[in-house]
Amino acid sequence: MFNITLICMGKLKEKFYLSAAAEYEKRMKGYCNFQLLELPEVRLPDDPSPAEIAAGLEKEADLILNKLPRNAWFCIFTPEGKPLSSEQLAAKLQEQKLSGKSSACFLIGSSFGIAPRVKSAADFQLSMSNMTFPHHLARVMVLEQLYRAESIQAGSKYHK
């Protein structure tokens, strides 16, 4: 069975986000081995300087890169990434499976972004939208899209 890991910077706290995320995590396990990793965001001052932000992102980069599954296809969510439809995301995942990969890893970075060296390590950069979303909502949206991609590949009726 294919392995999918979702790395998220920061913890969910609100019950409604936790409930929605848990539902999609449960559904994902019907299609793949799914793992969610929450890594701590580096704490920054209320009004951080660009240097403080860069240093914080570098600390987060160490945490992220140490948690990447070996030989996994690595996709990050970033505003400058390529937008894909749900069908295109499903095809991209299917392409990885057919290429012999046994796992994929997705990353939702912190509220200040993702360090350049993590972006360089990515096999693919994906944009959710030109709009800005709260990170907690983005997690639920990513989980739903990963579930949708798996259900599209399986030919289920979830995707209409």
Question: Per-domain residue ranges for the chain?
Answer: 3-154
Q: Is the pLDDT of residue 159 over 80?
A: no
pTM score above 0.85: yes
In whole angstroms, give the CA distance from residue 74 to residue 122. 5
The span from the CA of 105 to the CA of 83, in Å, is: 17
Q: What distance in Å separates the CA atoms of residue 91 and residue 40, rounded to the nearest whole number?
A: 32
Residue 134 confidence (pLDDT)? 87
- The dihedral region occupied by 113, where left means phi > 0, alpha psi between -120 and 50, and beta the remainder, is left
Confidence at residue 132, expressed as pLDDT on a 0 to 100 scale: 87
pLDDT in tens, 64-97: 999 999 999 999 999 999 999 999 999 999 999 9
**Better-scored residue on pLDDT, 19 or 130:** 19
Across the range 115-132, mean pLDDT stands at 95
Report the distance separating Cα 131 and Cα 61, nearest Å. 24
In the chain, % of residues over pLDDT 70:
99
| Averaged confidence pLDDT in the chain | 95
CA distance 122 to 115: 11
Tell me the two tokens of residue 132: 């800005």
CATH architecture, domain 3-154: 3-Layer(aba) Sandwich (3.40)
pLDDT for the residue 69: 95
pLDDT band at 23 (very low <50, low <70, confident <90, very high): very high
